[in-house]
Amino acid sequence: MAIALRSTSSAGTTTPLGSTLAINAPAGVTAGDVLYASITGINASDFTAPSGWQTLVLVNNADPINPCGIAIFYHTAGAGEPASYTFTSASTSMTGGNIVDYSGVENSLPYDELQTTFSTIDASNPTTASVTPTYAGEVALAFFALSNSSTTVPTTLTGYTNLYNNGHNEGTYDVNRDGFAQVLTTTATVAPQSLSGGASYGWCCVIITIQPVYVMPLPVFYGALITKASGAGSIITESTNPNTIVTETSRT
């Protein structure tokens, strides 16, 4: 089963920073889908997800001029999902968040590889880490937090499709959000890529690869089937291939 984007949803705080953030469930969410939430702000270490969600990673940059953080959570959808999900912060430090909903993801393995990058000083080239998928057909997801007073958010990451870009310009602390996806058709390593355009940012990035549902193929045995009598009371069907199961049927 191929991985497919079902839908996305987003929300931002209407004040410079917030301690709670409610994001609507993505449209059409279906049991078995895997949802990935990217929550941005000043201190990701303070962010927590609602019940039923798990933490993938919390990342803060080391930029003294434009600090920012990003938290990635995931959740496997059940039969009855709520209309929205509320994320919280121990401090008043959230600026916004996004949820992407994917079908066809292996539920037992929410990600294959996870890498993080971040700025130590403002830079105009926020960059992903490289990733190497285990299987062809995986999808790479890149999530960015960009700290700058500009609401112009870059939308180009070579090889990737832009999932969302949201500016946040509500005061002193403005952390913008950007998300991208790329279908990986081979197992070749995906080189680091930098956002094109935009201003100079304090930034951090999380990139993960997600695996499609693995379907166990049916065993294939080769060899001729031979049916023969075995005494007076049974018929045996056997194969010239020793790996084939031998069956015996009672004769009436």
Over range 31-48, report the average pLDDT: 94
- Lowest average pLDDT, out of 19-33, 188-202, 210-224, goes to 210-224
Q: What are phi and psi of 87, to 5 degrees?
A: -100, 150
Query: Distance (Å, rounded) from C-alpha 99 to C-alpha 20?
Result: 15
The pLDDT of residue 149 is 58
**Higher pLDDT among residues 217 and 143, named by residue:** 143
Mean pLDDT value across residues 150-178: 79
- Among 124-128, 201-205, 216-220, name the one with the lowest average pLDDT: 216-220
Q: Give me the residues paired with residue 248 across strands.
A: 236
- What does the mean pLDDT of the chain come to? 83
- For residues 10-16, average pLDDT: 79
Residues 55-64 have pLDDT tens digits of 999 999 988 8
Of the two residues 14 and 180, the one the predictor is more confident about is: 180
**pLDDT over 70 percentage in the chain:** 79
* pLDDT(150) > 70: no
**136 against 173, higher pLDDT:** 136
- Count CB atoms within 10 A of the CB of residue 36: 25
- Short-list 157, 200, 212, CA closest to 181: 157
- Least confident segment among 10-24, 126-140, 226-240: 226-240
pLDDT band, residue 219 (cuts 50/70/90)? low
Mean pLDDT of 57-77: 92
Comparing 218 with 212, the larger pLDDT belongs to 212
Q: Considering the entire predicted model, what is its pTM?
A: 0.83
Cα three-residue angle 111-112-115, rounded to 5 degrees: 85
